[in-house]
Every structure is written in structure tokens, then in C-alpha cells.
Amino acid sequence: MDLDWCLEKLTKNPPEVLPEQVVKGITEQLKEALIYESNVAMVESPVSVVGDLHGQYYDLVELFRVGGECPETNYLFLGNYVDRGFYSVETISLLVCLKLHYPRRITLLRGNHESKGVTQVYGFYSECLRKYGNANVWKYFTDMFNYLQLAALIDEKIFCVHGGLSPSISSINQIRVLDRFQEIPPEGALTDLVWSDPDAVEQETKPSPRGAGHIFGSQLVDKFLQDNKINHIIRSNQLCMDGHQVLFSGKLITIWSAPNFCYRCGNVASILEVFKANNSLTLKYNTYTAAPENERIIPSLETTKEIPDYFK
Amino acid sequence: MSDQKKDDEIYPIAVLVEELKNEDVQLRLNSLRQISTIAQAVGQERTRSELIPFLNDATDDEDEVLLVLADELGNLVEFVGGGEYAHTILPPLTTLASVEETVVREKTVEAIKKISKEMGEDQIQEFLYPVLKQLATGKWFTSRSSACGLFSICYQNVDEETKTELRQLFSDLCKDPTPMVRRSAAKGLAVLVPYVGRENLRKELIPLFVKLAEDDQDRVRLLAVDNCVALSKILTEDEFITYVIPTLKSCAKDRSWRVRYMVAERFCQLSEPIEPEVTKNDLVEVFIGLLKDNEEEVRTCATLRIAELCGQIRVYQDVIKDAILPVIEELSKDFSDNVKIALAASVTELAPIIGKEMTVEKLVPLYLDLLKEDISDVKLNIISKLDTVTQVITIEVLASTLLPVVVELFEDRQWRVRNAVIEYIPKLAIQLGVQFFDEKLTDLTMSWLKDSVFKIRQTAARNLVKLTKVFGSDWCMEHLLPHIFKLLEEPNYKIKQTGMYSLTVLAPELGNEIVTEKILPKIKNLKSDKVANVKLYLAKTLKSLLPYLEENTIQQEVKPCLNELAKDEDPDVKHFATSALNKIS
């Protein structure tokens, strides 16, 4: 598998999608690598934490311009690589290739959109159909999503997850023993980890209005931090107009990395740089706006391949 | 000829016939793209007698298919026997010239023009002219519209009597009841103008041009502007003033913004061939009207052309000063962002045209206002061309007026603005001189190396190279290197990498001795850094510095260091170290 060749194609302007057989190959390879990894990735600082990308490829390119390139820079992605944007295929392909090429430099967690069910509704499925003429690539990627790790610990002090906490999880070890190799179920601990949201006011943990996961407040956060001897929780899952939002006096941070979300929300994006200075962990936000108009190409939505049979 | 041979020759056509009956559009398209091959296979005579007639019957199909058919027909001249027989391809093309889909008709006209180029005068008179006449007097507006595109190629190659008839036909088309036809005629007029001769131009074509310019369809009227451009190249000055300028003036005040926009778009093309005096007398006021237009698009379009127009009338400095500059000042307060962005793009180029004094008096305040705008494209447009201005004004003026504002932009929120400022600094350095630079700018230049945006750090590092080229390597050693070495001790791994990158890009400027004695020892310290990314970057840096090191230094100092890195437990450190070691061997 010539990853340099793949990366060259994917970093062209405009990017070129990889052939179907190559996608099959890289997703197989990543599954084989991830099968041995724990549900909780142990990450060492320095590392830059990245929130939702949602197929906004040109903004991922902008992110690398601002945050630095891989492998010179370490990255931890919190999930939601696909759906909504126009370039989910190119975005996830690029990240998979980077992960295979530099496994120690980049970590990919699972978000609530890394799911067969959700991607059929929010755009990844139809994008694959449009760009490849069939659903095979969608299947390769979504099969691979079942292998992505659920959470990360930076220097054993900062807990990172896509959504948030779960009423059924009080210790990180409980996360380690879950069976993650499945489609995200409608409820349960795995679901909570990728679907939950914090609430600044709410004290009790309640089911989330999203229909999956829970809402949790400072009570659960304090207990989780104390019981697990950690200092911060970093998560994504919710749009922030300023690119990030800090709750509970700095204990919980939401980071969002899709600027001008859906090409119309007008928000900025942030990444969170975690590094050691004077022997203590420092957190620094790096905020950026969407790549300018003249550096992105809006794809034409013409169908260039055969429309699938069930539409005829 | 034996039956077998006969079958061999018509067989490809039979296959084509079958394929063109296929339901699948893709297959039909692929077959049609093979026509040249088939024509070559069956030979010239059968192409003329069988293939072309068959294609004439294949003109009832989807637009996609007809488009390809028209295109391929245009390529068949050599396969029918050259220019002498080119006219045999006309029948199917004539049919295609009448179809509903505009794109197909346009391709057909192109194809007809293509094959007509191979035809001699006789053939054009005998074969093309009747086709044109047939189309021009056709029942459907589609064929009449296509006819308009064929006049110029026909006209050049026929006798006087036919020319008169052609002009009559053209005149009828210009007055056609269907707007689409009048549009095509208006387009065709510009192309015909060079060929009809001055007498006919004045007596016949110009009245037609004026009439089309007053058409009640705005899409016909806007084509009058292109016709003005064509006429400006042929007419004498007096003729231009008499016949064209009145029409141009009414287009510039047309009730439809599209027509006014077209005038703005083509303005400088119009004014270029004529004498500056005429431009000054008659066209400047038209241009100013466009700069003040109600419609944002028109103002933007005109604003982009300010510098070009002023360049054309630069002998008339007082006109520029009294008539145009006041309008520019108003435009800087326009409520539309696009107008201001356009103004920023064109106003820097005005400086060399109006000279130092006027620039300082009138333009510098304008630049200062624009640099304070919140719109990053405005700032970018000014900064990226600021060196055009600095070549015109003195360094004292620059230092006291523009520089403080530019310095503020060093910290603009938008990294691309900061980037443009960094790119501008070396150009400034030459004019400012070492002392001024050291006093005011060196610290700022170094602070960019710690910018939070990666691209800025890269640009800042490369900027050091440009400065070193201006001020010399001694200056670099004294003023820059100490700062860069400090970067290698910063806690943040990205800054350490920036330090290493700066040293890599400066190496060619500083020379082998400095690289060996000063730089190498400092960076080697990083080999025991705790962060793998620093170590892998060190390996990359050592590899880049190899061309600037002596052989024994490499063997004694670099190789051991790389060997150590190659044993690191991190696979990426190992990889880059090994790659560097491979380059040594």
C-alpha cells in the first residue's frame, strides 16, 4: 500500500479520491492495526486536539496551515469526520492515510457520526454513491468506524471523548472493558460517550433531547475528575460560535473545528494545543476562520455516475 | 470489386448504424466519436456517398449526442477528399443548425466555419452561400439565429452581387421579430465590420448598429458595447466621435444595469485605440458616471479600471486631479465592501501615474483609510502592491505616514493579512536601510517566528533569508542568529522546529563555515529532547544541512548523532534518521 501515493492524490487541489480498491485496502489495514488497541488511547503531550470536521476538507487544509503539518505536529481528532460537508470522502481518506503512515503522531477517535445509521441520513452515504457510483466505499469506511477508539487520555491527566460522560461509567477502566466493535447502539455506555452533552445549569444526569446519550452537569464532572485523578475533560459534539467553550471553571472544554459550519453558520473554529511548559500542562487555543472563497472549490452536484437502480 | 471487399468496406458503417440504434446514450456517444476512424476505413468515396448521408438521417437524437455529432462532422474534411469536397458535409450540418438546443447550434456553426476554411472561393459561393440563405430565410428562429454566425466567413469569399445580397439578408436579420435572432445578429455584426469596406460600413452597418443599440431587449442592447469596441479599431477619429460615441453614451445611461455594466467592463478596450484627447473630452465623463452608478456591480467593475484609464490619459494630469481623484475619495466611503475591495486593488497602481507630489497629497491619506478598514481583502490588496507606491514616494514620507499603520497590521487577526505584511517587509528593507530597520523592525520580525499560525512562522523564516540578502550575512550573524538560537530553547516543540527551519533556510546565505561552527553544535543539543517530533525534525534538519558541511564534519559530528537517533524507540524518529544516514552513504 503506497501511502505516499495516496497522500499525494489527496493533497492535490482539488483533491482526488482514491480508487475503490485502495479504500478497501487502507480500511482493512487500519482495522488490523486498531483491533489490538485499547478503547482508551494513551496519548503523550505535546498534542493538538481537534473537534468536529464534518467533511469540510478545505477547512482541514486550513487547519494544517494554522496548526502545523503531520508528522511534525501531533494531533488527536475527536471524531465526526464525515456528513454535512461536501468532502467527507476526501476528509476521512486523508485522515486514515495519515494515521496509517504516522500511527504515533495521530489518534482518531469515534464520533456519533461514525455510524452506519447516521451517515445514511446526513450525507456521507450519498456522497460515496455520487463519487464512486456504488455503496462499497461507504461500507468499507463504516465497517472501519466500528474499530475506532472511544476515548483518549493525555498524560493521564486530560480525558478526551467525542460526546461526554455516561451515568453508567464512573471509572475510565469501565470504558476499557466495553465491546466497541459494533455499530453504535441506541442506548448504553458506548452511546453516551459519543452522544452526551454537558449542561451548565443542570445538576442531575438526564436523557438527552437528541434522542441518544445523556445531559450531565457539574456534579458528574467533578466526581469523574476526582475518581479518575484527572484535571480536565475535552470533548466536541456541539457547535461553538467562538470555536471553543469552557465550562465548570475550566474543568470541561468543548472544542469545535468546523469553521462556518455547513458553509453558513458564520462561526470560527479552534484547536486546543496541549504541551508542557515548566513541568505543567499548558492549554492554548488556536482559533481560525474558514479557508477563503478563492481557495476552495464548491463541487458541482451533477451526477457523473449511474444513478442506482432503485431510483429508476 | 468482389462482394467480400465491398462488405469489408461498408461493414463499419453497418456497425455504426446498429450502434446508433442502441438505447444507451453512452454507447451512442462512443460510436459517434469513432466517425473519423470509420471514414478513414471506408475511404473518401464511400464517406461522401454513404456515411455522410446516413449521418444526415441521424440528426434526431438527444442534445448530448447531437453536440458530439456536430463536433465530429467538423473534423471530416480530410476524409471526404479535402477542400474540394468539403461542401458535402454541409447537409447534416445544415439540419443541425436548426435544432432547439443553443449549445448544439453554436457547435454546428463552429463546425461549418471550420470546414469552410478548407473551401475555396468558388465552393463558398456555390455551396456555402445557398446554405446561409436557406438558414437566414428559414421558418424557425433557430436557423435564422445560426445564419448570423456564418456571414463573416461567407462575405469574404463571394462576388460583389452576392455581397450586396448578403448585406440585405443581414439587415433583415437585424430587424427580425425574434429577440434571439437579433442577439445573434448583434454578435455577428462585430465580426462582419472589418470586411464590408468603409462605404458600406457607414451607409448600412452603422445604422444597423445604432438600431440594435436601441432595441427594447437589454440583452440585445448590451451587445452594442462589443460592437463599439470593434468599430473603435476601424473607424477614424472623427467617424468614431460622430457615429459611436453617442451610442456609447446612451448605453452608459441605459435603464438596464447589465448594459451599463458592459460599458464599464469594456471601457479600457474601447478607449485604448483612440487618441487620449478624445478620451479626455468625451469618455472621461462617461467613466465618472459609471463610478457613481446606482448599481454596486457597475461601480465595482468601473473602479477596477481606474488605474488603467488614468494611464491612458496620463498626459492630462489636471483632468485626473480635478475630475477623477475627487470621485475616488467618495468611493473610499462607499457602503459596498466589493467596491472598496476593487478600489484597494486599483488605487496603488495610480501612484506611478500621478507622480510623487500628488501621491503624497491625495493618495496616501486614501491608503491610510483603506488600511484601517475591517475588511481583510481591502487590506490585503493594498499591502500586496504597496511597493509600487514606495518606489514613488520618499522614504521619509513612507516612514512617517504609511509605516506606522502597516506596523499595526503586523498583529491583524487574519493571518493572511499578517502574511502579506511579512512578504512586504523585505521590499521595504532596501529603502529603509539597516539602521532604521534595526531600530524599528527587527524585534517585530523576530516575534513572527513565534506566531501561533504555522504558515506565518514559515513565511517569517523565509523572510529572514530575504533580509539577509539585503543586509548581508554579517548582519544576520549579529542580529538574527542569537534570537534564533534562543528559539531552540523554547518549551513549545513547534517553536523549536521553527528555529531549526530558520537555520536550514539561512544555511545557503551563511556559508559552510558558520553552519559547521555555529549552527551544528546548537542544533545537536536537541538530540536528547523529550519530544519525538523535535528529534525527527532534527534528523530532517541534519539531512538538509549535509550539502553545507565538510566530509569529516559529517563523519565525526553528524553521523554519530544520527546513529543515536536511528536507535530511538519512536518509529518516526528512526525513519527520518535512517533516511538522513542513507543520504550520507
Q: Please tell me the predicted confidence (pLDDT) of residue A301.
A: 54
ipTM of the complex: 0.91
Closest CA to B248 of B282, B200, B288: B282
User: Which residue of B452, B491, B497 is in closest CB contact with A276?
Assistant: B491
Q: Please tell me the predicted confidence (pLDDT) of residue B123.
A: 87
Size of interface A-B (CB pairs under 8 A): 52
> B491 and chain A: CB distance < 8 Å anywhere?
yes
Closest CA to A168 of A210, A200, A199, A214: A214
Closest CA to B540 of B565, B517, B570, B522: B565
Pairwise CA distance, residues B278 & B276, whole Å: 5
**A105–B533 CB contact, under 8 Å:** yes
User: Which residue of B492, B497, B572 is in closest CB contact with A105?
Assistant: B572
- Strands, sheet with A75-77, edge to edge from the N-terminal-most edge strand: A106-108, A75-77, A47-50, A269-277, A280-288
A33: which chain B residues are within 8 Å (Cβ-Cβ)?
A: none
> B27 and chain A: CB distance < 8 Å anywhere?
no
**B415–A66 CB contact, under 8 Å:** yes
E runs forming strands in chain A: 40-43, 47-50, 75-77, 106-108, 151-154, 158-161, 197-198, 206-207, 214-216, 232-235, 244-247, 252-255, 269-277, 280-288
Q: What is the pLDDT of residues B145-160, one digit of tens each?
A: 999 999 988 898 888 8
In this predicted structure, the answer to whether residue A307 has a pLDDT above a threshold of 80 is: no
Residue ranges of chain A whose CB lies within 8 Å of a chain B CB:
46, 64-69, 71-74, 102-105, 275-278, 284, 286, 288-289, 292
Q: Which of A116-120, B407-411, B446-450 has the lowest mean pLDDT?
A: B407-411
Q: Please tell me the predicted confidence (pLDDT) of residue B520.
A: 93
**A288–B570 CB contact, under 8 Å:** no
**A275–B415 CB contact, under 8 Å:** no
**B533–A275 CB contact, under 8 Å:** no
Count Cβ atoms below 10 Å from residue B249 Cβ, excluding itself.
15
> Does the active-site annotation cover A101?
no
Q: What is the pLDDT of residues A269-286, one digit of tens each?
A: 999 999 998 888 999 999
In this predicted structure, the answer to whether residue B584 has a pLDDT above a threshold of 50 is: yes
- Which one of A54, A113, A162, A244 is the catalytic residue? A113
Q: Which of A200-209, B497-506, B536-545 has the lowest mean pLDDT?
A: A200-209
Mean pLDDT along residues B289-296: 94
Quote the mean pLDDT of chain B. Answer: 89
Mean pLDDT along residues B530-543: 95
B415: which chain A residues are within 8 Å (Cβ-Cβ)?
A: 66, 288
**A66–B537 CB contact, under 8 Å:** no
Q: Please tell me the predicted confidence (pLDDT) of residue B566.
A: 95
**B454–A64 CB contact, under 8 Å:** yes
Pairwise CA distance, residues B259 & B220, whole Å: 9
- Alpha-carbon distance B491 to nearest alpha carbon in chain A (angstroms): 6
Chain B residue with minimal CA distance to A101? B572
Q: Please tell me the predicted confidence (pLDDT) of residue B264.
A: 94
Q: Please tell me the predicted confidence (pLDDT) of residue B282.
A: 86
Q: Which of A47, A65, A302, A312 should we substitute to test contact with B (largest number of B Cβ atoms within 10 Å)?
A: A65
Pairwise CA distance, residues B135 & B119, whole Å: 19
Q: Please tell me the predicted confidence (pLDDT) of residue A245.
A: 96
> B414 and chain A: CB distance < 8 Å anywhere?
yes
Pairwise CA distance, residues A27 & A9, whole Å: 17
Q: Please tell me the predicted confidence (pLDDT) of residue A220.
A: 94
**B416–A277 CB contact, under 8 Å:** no
Pairwise CA distance, residues A237 & A256, whole Å: 8
> B141 and chain A: CB distance < 8 Å anywhere?
no
Q: What is the pLDDT of residues B495-535, one digit of tens each?
A: 999 999 999 999 999 999 999 999 999 999 999 999 999 99
Q: Percentage of chain A with pLDDT > 70?
A: 95
Pairwise CA distance, residues B161 & B318, whole Å: 53
Confidence of residue A300 (pLDDT cuts 50, 70, 90): low
Confidence (pTM): 0.77
**B455–A65 CB contact, under 8 Å:** yes
Pull the grid cell for residue A248. 465548570
User: Which stretch, A233-242, B391-400, B460-469, has highest mean pLDDT?
Assistant: A233-242
> B531 and chain A: CB distance < 8 Å anywhere?
yes
Quote the mean pLDDT of chain A. Answer: 93
B533: which chain A residues are within 8 Å (Cβ-Cβ)?
A: 46, 71-74, 105
**B537–A73 CB contact, under 8 Å:** no
Pairwise CA distance, residues B472 & B457, whole Å: 22
Mean pLDDT along residues A239-255: 95
**Greatest Cα pair distance in chain B:** 97
**CA separation (Å) from A156 to A76, A151, A282, B363?**
14, 12, 14, 60
Q: What is the pLDDT of residues A124-156, one digit of tens each?
A: 999 999 999 899 999 999 999 999 999 999 999
Mean pLDDT along residues B357-372: 89
Closest CA to B290 of B215, B238, B342: B342
Q: What is the pLDDT of residues A79-109, one digit of tens each?
A: 999 999 999 999 999 999 999 999 999 999 9
Mean pLDDT along residues A199-221: 93
Q: Which of A121-135, A150-164, A285-299 has the lowest mean pLDDT?
A: A285-299
Residue A311 or residue B222, greater confidence = B222
User: Which residue of A66, A102, A277 is in closest CB contact with B454?
Assistant: A66
- Alpha-carbon distance B492 to nearest alpha carbon in chain A (angstroms): 7
Q: Please tell me the predicted confidence (pLDDT) of residue B8.
A: 55
